């Protein structure tokens, strides 16, 4: 199911609007932890976008999740 947030992010991607992706991912993860029925975040998809658009990620923190 597509949500309004998804449409906003797709619009940003298609119109080459800069997005603070680490912040977007962090917000998604926080919502997923807080809300039991919140959908699973699109971390893999967003990671692929970051790689494809060559978004610089130097200095970003990495946290492995098991």
Distance CA 64, CA 42 (A): 16
Task: Find the mean pLDDT for residues 34-48.
Answer: 69
Residue-wise pLDDT tens digits, 1-18? 567 877 888 888 889 999
Please report, for the chain, the start and end positions of each structural domain, with discontinuous segments joined by +: 4-52
Note the pLDDT of residue 57: 81
> What integer best gives the mean pLDDT of the chain?
78
Q: Is the pLDDT of residue 62 over 80?
A: no
Q: How many C-beta atoms lie closer than 10 Å to residue 9's C-beta? A: 19
Predicted pLDDT at 65: 67
Structure confidence at residue 9 (pLDDT): 82
pLDDT at residue number 15: 92
């Amino acid at each position: 199911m597509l949500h309004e947030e998804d449409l906003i992010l797709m619009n940003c991607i298609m119109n080459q609007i800069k997005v603070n992706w680490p912040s977007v991912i962090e917000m998604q993860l926080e919502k997923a932890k807080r809300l039991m029925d919140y959908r699973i975040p699109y971390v893999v998809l967003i990671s692929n976008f970051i790689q494809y658009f060559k978004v610089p990620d130097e200095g970003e923190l990495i946290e492995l999740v098991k």
